[in-house]
Structure 1
């Protein structure tokens, strides 16, 4: 509907069929940034297409600008629309975000229908063609639009490739895999999602400018919700995140309906249709939309990853079981590069308090999860927090890392209060964590997982990635080298290219630790790191934690394995029902009557 009807495959390619195909490709490349790379469902993408088209129409017909002068404004206003939509809504996820974007698309169309300056339902006609370039006259020939759309597609591919192969692409992939874990690894998730919306919207604005300039007339009916669904179908059918796949999907979406429009059924099929419908249908073209829909369904059933999927998308839909536990490599004796900045300056530094909780209280709807908990952890310690299930241990970690904001008390990291900061800001300040249930980015490689952590120290610049600045390339190389050193440090460098989901359980734990260290913390928080490990894996873990401490990091761990805690830790705090009931040296904790009654159950410390 957006490109007019009656186009046939026998007409001149560049003047009839190539144009809608090319515009669909530009739109699909933009939506692929939002849906395929960043993992957000946008059902109102047609709004940005409309903004670009109406901007071109108003600037050229009302203000009498040259179409080329209107081009940056079509792109810029579409990006602005993306920011306006994203700023208040991107904290929503999944279906809720999809519903909001759908509403935005309808709002833009309704505004156009009821605004006199935009032609209301009449639309805007007489939109001039771009002025000639290098002897190519857009007004009298469709061939210049062929070149124009080829340039637009090539530019779009360049943008997507540069972003996807940079820290920006890794950040988007991490958000798509596990947004909460990405935020806790230092990814500014809200800002990166806003960039995705803005970049995707810019492609919509560009496509709108091309469409308005070529057709010369626009009205609200040219930007229906159905068009958003069509472009989304192109991205999904082709393969989310895959440039060749998205192009193939857009081609199929634009080409097949027109092809089926001109296909005539043979005698056998005609007789079958005549019999099936009681003589009402004898031409297959009458059912072209139904046949096209059936073709989409068939693709989704037999190729759910898309026609030409990316490697990550293919991995997401492959049922691969993790390999059995393996003996870890010999641990690298050298400290991790990310911890070099936190090496001890001397014996006096060991007494410095690096993490301090003062009377921290956390409530959930009147239920007290932590009550006036105070803990001081000194640099270079291995500090354990133990207690029965539900004692508030993980809640404490969540308060430290910004997942929860305590109702009372203060938390200081390296002497500075971190209350009220966002998780990625606390990670940048020097607190990194692992999770009770492993939360890797499963469809990213081990190396990519660690590089996401390393990116927290370098920052994530979209302009730098787009321009390929020397500093950006240098930091990219440095991050890769640091990530490889950390994989070697934890003993899994041979698995650098494997998807995280395919690693043995013990290797996944080590990878999660390496990713956290990559953020460059002064305090490393390990939430039940030995859970689910066999004895040999636990011994390797103890060795690794000691080496981490020796590199200058402070380690705080939650653990139920009392043999590991008492043999590894310098100091232990005990929580019970949200309150700290004891703190001291391991042997003191083992013989504390309150701890024995609440948790240990026997003076021997057996768990």
Structure 2
């Protein structure tokens, strides 16, 4: 029996084997640490492990999702005080305080994540700073609950009636840290992780691939907060005493700095950054007064000298270590076949659509119907409003007047992710790839809407989760082979040529298994050979029952592949019909194709 390919069981190249050997030695060193290091140093390493739990979570929101958060110390403090208050005032054991702290911090993470729906960048950073300052202020002022500036004593952790020793707490921290890394690795190497990275690289393209920006941004904040709560609770019980001074704004700067130095958006980055910045300062006590200055200088040096951190620099030097992807079993029929019932009717209808930008009418009282399983092309001069129409169809813009229906359902008011999941895939006039993802990962993002498992099943990496990931991996490989760029799977999308990026966009859109494929100038930047290849691809797509709406300036190309051609000029339709009819239309010849009929024959 032929063995099924499993993308999680990959052959390792020499560099990867070396990397795993180093990782194994590191784990062994951590396991043996209590037997060979003094008590003080063991406490420092234990603190580093707690910080690593938090920074691993912070990396999800800042490194993978691209949302700057400077309020992590506040979430850390919430977790610490939740655990401390429940233990000190209600007598709850650590094993119940820990999940409670995670839940409470997760709830506050949800609240903190809400502004990401409206703001980003520097504005979001300011909001998260304010959150951290407010939390610290509450911890100081609410003395009846928190003990105020005098702090709060925390009971010791007991296990079957025995108090956990310092070595025992070290192993507890190590175990929870390893669990955190395992959970995070499973999330990141799933469709959830690809959604986070897609949002970081290009929110517009992510939304048009069916990714709900609101849901995934909030999820990233909640996950980050849950890990911060766990780290805070662990810290409270380990230190046996907490006060508001332990959760100041400078700590948030430190947490962010660790992932920047180590390498944001990588699993290993927070490990390197946290261990480096926690252990190294212990040998530099005489510089404590200048801690913030040193952090700022280190941040500047890291951004300028190693903008992608230590791991990023290693990745750039040895790309095979990170991006090695073995070939999958590919399908001989990679284009998804549309078995939709709309075989003879109109898949899309636009009635009297008008779109204004200020005082300019980009689209003026436009009507059009697209028959199912045909190639319908839209041509017109630059600035005629062609791309605006595609943006209206897939929800990027909403028309001021008129009606748009797709498969007999009204599209007005729906966001791009909803329309994408309904069966409308697209490419862009200006290529919108996820530049920091590999070619293969870009296509796998296109299949986002086909995944059905929830976050908990993903974390556990169940059989169903592995099977879904396998199907997505194989589909992406098959589509890339069909496009002729399967030799680029491990390269980053940003490194491809213009023509290859166009083909990658089409492959990504096909991974959505669309009913309607919107192609916005797909031949732009292609040479003659690539254009001929694209013509064949579009014909193959049509043969598989997928309707194509094509915007293109290459007239010969349009006339060859189209069943129907619509002509747009200054936002208004001036002609529509079969290609030969449009070619001979006097209005088209005058407005777009030239003044002489010979020019278009």
Question: Shorter-chain-normalised TM-score: which range?
Answer: 0.7 to 0.9
Q: Distance in 2 between matches of 1:428 and 1:547?
A: 22
Do 2:379 and 2:386's aligned partners in 1 also have CA atoms closer than 8 Å?
yes
* SS in structure 1 at match of 2:353: strand
Distance change >3 Å, CA 357–CA 424, structure 1 → 2? same
Is it true that 1:509 corresponds to 2:502 in the alignment?
yes
Aligned-CA RMSD value: 2.6
Structure 2 counterpart of 1:308: 311
Q: What are the superposed Cα offsets for residues 438-467 of structure 1, whole Å, 9 maximum, x if unpaired?
A: 111122222111111112222463222101
Structure 2 counterpart of 1:184: 208
Structure 2 counterpart of 1:375: 368
Distance change >3 Å, CA 315–CA 554, structure 1 → 2? farther
Is it true that 1:238 corresponds to 2:262 in the alignment?
yes
Structure 1 counterpart of 2:183: 159
Distance change >3 Å, CA 232–CA 592, structure 1 → 2? same
Q: Distance in 2 between matches of 1:132 and 1:261?
A: 35
Is it true that 1:207 corresponds to 2:231 in the alignment?
yes
Structure 2 counterpart of 1:50: 77
Instruction: Quote how far apart the aligned CAs of 1:299 are.
Output: 4.5
Is it true that 1:434 corresponds to 2:427 in the alignment?
yes
Q: Distance in 2 between matches of 1:405 and 1:219?
A: 52
Do 1:178 and 1:441's aligned partners in 2 also have CA atoms closer than 8 Å?
yes
Q: Distance in 2 between matches of 1:547 and 1:311?
A: 42
Instruction: Quote how far apart the aligned CAs of 1:333 are.
Output: 11
Q: TM-score, normalised by structure 2?
A: 0.87
Instruction: Quote how far apart the aligned CAs of 1:334 are.
Output: 5.2
Q: Distance in 2 between matches of 1:363 and 1:298?
A: 47
Instruction: Quote how far apart the aligned CAs of 1:301 are.
Output: 4.1
Instruction: Quote how far apart the aligned CAs of 1:296 are.
Output: 5.5
Do 2:306 and 2:313's aligned partners in 1 also have CA atoms closer than 8 Å?
no
Distance change >3 Å, CA 295–CA 350, structure 1 → 2? closer
Matched ranges for 1:213-362 at <5 A: 213-261=237-285, 297-309=300-312, 335-337=333-335, 339-340=336-337, 342-343=338-339, 350-362=343-355
Q: Distance in 1 between matches of 2:62 and 2:295?
A: 23
Structure 2 counterpart of 1:281: none
User: Equivalent of 2:62, from 30, 35, 47?
Assistant: 35
Is it true that 1:498 corresponds to 2:496 in the alignment?
no
Q: What are the superposed Cα offsets for residues 373-406 of structure 1, whole Å, 9 maximum, x if unpaired?
A: 1110001211111112221111110111111111
Instruction: Quote how far apart the aligned CAs of 1:597 are.
Output: 2.5
Moved more, 23-32 or 157-166: 23-32
Q: What are the superposed Cα offsets for residues 196-251 of structure 1, whole Å, 9 maximum, x if unpaired?
A: 11111111001110111122322222211111000100010011122332112111
| Bigger-Rg structure (1/2) | 1
Instruction: Quote how far apart the aligned CAs of 1:286 are.
Output: 7.3
Moved more, 391-400 or 572-581: 572-581
Q: TM-score, normalised by structure 1?
A: 0.86
Structure 1 counterpart of 2:543: 550
Distance change >3 Å, CA 351–CA 311, structure 1 → 2? farther
Matched ranges for 1:457-472 at <5 A: 457-459=450-452, 461-472=454-465
Instruction: Quote how far apart the aligned CAs of 1:69 are.
Output: 1.6
User: Equivalent of 2:119, from 92, 101, 108?
Assistant: 92
Distance change >3 Å, CA 222–CA 291, structure 1 → 2? closer
Q: Distance in 2 between matches of 1:186 and 1:312?
A: 30
Q: Distance in 1 between matches of 2:79 and 2:193?
A: 25
Structure 2 counterpart of 1:447: 440
Q: Distance in 2 between matches of 1:315 and 1:380?
A: 46
User: Equivalent of 1:479, from 472, 485, 492?
Assistant: 472
Instruction: Quote how far apart the aligned CAs of 1:518 are.
Output: 0.7
- Structure 2 residue runs of 5 or longer lacking an equivalent are 1-36, 320-329
* SS in structure 1 at match of 2:518: strand
Q: Distance in 1 between matches of 2:375 and 2:291?
A: 68
Distance change >3 Å, CA 120–CA 598, structure 1 → 2? farther
Structure 1 counterpart of 2:148: 121
Is it true that 1:528 corresponds to 2:521 in the alignment?
yes
Q: What are the superposed Cα offsets for residues 411-451 of structure 1, whole Å, 9 maximum, x if unpaired?
A: 11111112211211111101110001111112222211111
Do 2:85 and 2:146's aligned partners in 1 also have CA atoms closer than 8 Å?
no
User: Equivalent of 1:173, from 185, 191, 197?
Assistant: 197
Is it true that 1:391 corresponds to 2:384 in the alignment?
yes
Structure 2 counterpart of 1:406: 399
Q: Distance in 1 between matches of 2:251 and 2:557?
A: 59
Do 1:57 and 1:127's aligned partners in 2 also have CA atoms closer than 8 Å?
yes
Q: What are the superposed Cα offsets for residues 286-308 of structure 1, whole Å, 9 maximum, x if unpaired?
A: 76776676555554443332222
Structure 2 counterpart of 1:137: 163
Distance change >3 Å, CA 128–CA 484, structure 1 → 2? same
* SS in structure 2 at match of 1:573: strand
Distance change >3 Å, CA 55–CA 291, structure 1 → 2? closer
Distance change >3 Å, CA 108–CA 605, structure 1 → 2? farther
Do 2:259 and 2:270's aligned partners in 1 also have CA atoms closer than 8 Å?
yes
Q: Distance in 1 between matches of 2:383 and 2:439?
A: 32
Structure 2 counterpart of 1:538: 531
Q: Distance in 2 between matches of 1:255 and 1:526?
A: 53
Structure 2 counterpart of 1:571: 564
User: Equivalent of 1:560, from 553, 563, 578?
Assistant: 553
Q: Distance in 2 between matches of 1:173 and 1:378?
A: 36
Moved more, 159-168 or 97-106: 97-106
Do 1:257 and 1:289's aligned partners in 2 also have CA atoms closer than 8 Å?
no
